[in-house]
Structure 1
Amino acid sequence: MITGPLSAYDAQHVKLEVAGSVATLTLNRPERKNPLTFDSYAELTAIFRAAVHDDQVRAFVVTGAGGNFCSGGDVHEIIGPLLERDTRGLMAFTAMTGDLVKAMRACPQPILAAVDGICAGAGAIIAMASDLRLGTARTKVAFLFNRVGLAGCDMGACAILPRLIGQGRASELLYLGRSLGGEEGLAWGFFNALHAPEAVLEATTEMARGIAEGPAFAHAMTKRMLAMEWAMSIEQAIEAEAVAQALCMTTQDFRRAFDAFVAKQRPVFRGD
């Protein structure tokens, strides 16, 4: 369990950097295309859980080192040991991997993924579970679970992916396990934008800074509503948004925006 601000946390299994109000998480095993381990799964989950209580961090950037995003679960450190587990042990693992996505979705700060190169398996899930995704033309996103004899219904893929790109396109990726290229991913709506490989991280960070400058409470409410309204009727959504917006109107940031407008100035939001 992480206590205190993330800026003071010494991450052991991923690289964590906090600059101003943006936290950057780098999957940092470039020699293996940044695969995940049991420890990095747990640490990522703990960081996103701790972010709920961090008032300094207002946006996250997730990226990978060495020209690739993430190659998925480490074949030697995860896949191999799983073959020795019984059903109870396997359920513990799949619950743990799902907890990462739950933590990402529950984290109030918007999460932006800067995706270059290989983005496969659990790496594709992390990109999918982020709020915004910026890629490159050479990016290859692959939900390749069926390639190893598993179902495509992993870590929320069957729930989230169709909402990003549509049911038919999601079905194609999950049944075939083929790679989704950068240009195709942009056309399908998986990526918000494409940039050159050397520019994608800075472009993502710049977008994160822009979001972080906005009203933090209101952004958290937007993220919450985007998730909650999946399971609501239009009428329920309108009612829920009425409550959400009324709560945002009680914040000091709402008053600051009005005062700045009257003074013909740009508002400076503080998140309260």
Structure 2
Amino acid sequence: MTIDTTHFRCQIEDGIATLRLDRPDRKNPLTFDSYAELRDWFRALPYRDDVKAVVFGSNGGNFCSGGDVHDIIGPLTKMTMKELLAFTRMTGDLVKAMIHCGVPVIAAADGVCVGAGAIVAMASDLRIATPDTKAAFLFTRVGLAGCDMGACAMLPRIIGQGRAAELLYTGRAMSADEGSAWGFWNKVVDADALEAEAQAMARRIADGPNFGHMMTKTMLNQEWSMSLDQAIEAEAQAQAICMQTEDFTRAYNAFVAKEKPVFQGD
């Protein structure tokens, strides 16, 4: 089922939403409007029950080339401080919306994955690349700081402080092999297998205990700011809540019957 969106493509099939930026001739840059529409789409996700996993895919051999030079970078040079802060808060709100959407997000990145495109991949829960994928946090190369859209908080947690510092200071591209070895990419597959691999991963997640997945995503993000004692207590409460779900009972009954459980998300 194709969903009516203006600035990106969205299809929802059997619990999996597949998103793609839709300007392949420009390597899929983001614009003011696409930022805002993506932010609003992810913000609305916790309130719908037809999406169990999201694949943020590539289009035309590339993932995303970051903010459009003509539609975003040029206008930004003429804005007031108030207008600039409104923009940077909006872009950060896209990352917040992805983090708090309650649904696992898989980035399937081919080719160019730079600037805000690299941030979208970073903000996803799982990331798959191809051998030709080059991820770069380009912000210093256009005279800005590397601390954009949560990069200084999130990237070190994924690949380590020193590696993140190098990428954020220099803006250089991280190869697929580097990203795989450093833990940024969960998997690297051939380009012709990228879509199928991402969909298979999404299918496995969508078929799982969706309420449990929501709790897992919530804890993965909330526990960044907790002490170890607080985290253990928060997980105890979360797990106790999950033990009251019908999916937990279904899993037990299926185990007793030596069958595979069929989860329903309640």
2:158 alignment partner in structure 1: 164
Contact 2:131 2:188 in 1 (8 A): yes
Which residue of 46, 57, 75 maps to 1:63? 57
Deviation at 1:8, TM superposition (A): 7.4
SS at match of 1:199: helix
2:133–2:175 contact (8 Å) kept in structure 1: yes
Contact kept? 2:2, 2:10, Cα under 8 Å: no
Distance 1:89 1:137 in 2: 39
8 Å contact kept, 1:61–1:208: yes
For 2:173, the equivalent position in structure 1 comes to 179
**2:256 matched to which residue of 1?**
262
Q: What residue is the counterpart of 2:78 in the other structure? A: 84
Aligned with 1:150 (options 144, 165, 177)? 144
Counterparts of 1:161 and 1:105 in 2: how far apart (Å)?
14
Give unpaired runs (5+ residues) of structure 2.
Answer: none
Selected match of 1:46 from 21, 30, 40? 40
In structure 2, the partner of 1:20 is 14
Q: Do residues 189 (structure 1) and 183 (structure 2) align?
A: yes
Aligned residues: 266
1-side partners of 2:142 and 2:237: how far apart? 46
Q: CA deviation at 1:64?
A: 2.0
| Mapping 1:119-268, distance limit 5 Å | 119-268=113-262
Runs of 4+ in 1 over 3 A off after TM superposition: none
What is the CA–CA distance in structure 2 between the aligned matches of 1:209 and 1:8, rounded to whole Å?
Answer: 18
The aligned amino acid for 2:104 is: P
d(CA) in 2 for partners of 1:183 and 1:114? Answer: 15
For residue 59 of structure 1, report the CA deviation from its aligned partner: 0.3
Separation in 1, partners of 2:108, 2:195: 5
Asked whether the 8 Å contact 1:256–1:269 carries over to 2, the reply is yes
Instruction: Give the stretch that moved more between structures: 239-248 or 47-56.
Output: 47-56
2:96 to 92, 99, 102: 102
Q: How far apart, in 2, do the equivalents of 1:229 and 1:33 lie?
A: 35
**Structure 1 CA distance for aligned equivalents of residues 2 and 60 of structure 2:** 25
Distance 1:27 1:67 in 2: 12
Q: CA deviation at 1:12?
A: 0.7
Q: CA deviation at 1:232?
A: 1.1
Q: 2:138 aligned with 1:111, yes or no?
A: no
Task: For residue 54 of structure 1, report the CA deviation from its aligned partner.
Answer: 1.2
Distance 1:234 1:181, change over 3 A: same
Q: Which amino acid aligns with 2:137?
A: F
Distance 1:120 1:217 in 2: 33
TM-score (norm 1): 0.97
Distance 1:203 1:229 in 2: 29
TM-score of the two chains, using structure 2 as the length reference:
0.99
CA distance in 2 between counterparts of 1:247 and 1:11 reads 35
Which residue number corresponds to residue 3 of structure 1? none
1:62 alignment partner, SS class = strand
Q: Which runs of 5+ in 1 are unaligned?
A: 1-6
Retained in 2: the 8 A contact 1:61–1:114?
yes
Letter in structure 2 aligned against 1:117: G
For the Cα contact (< 8 Å) 2:2–2:11, is it kept in 1?
no
Contact 1:28 1:64 in 2 (8 A): no
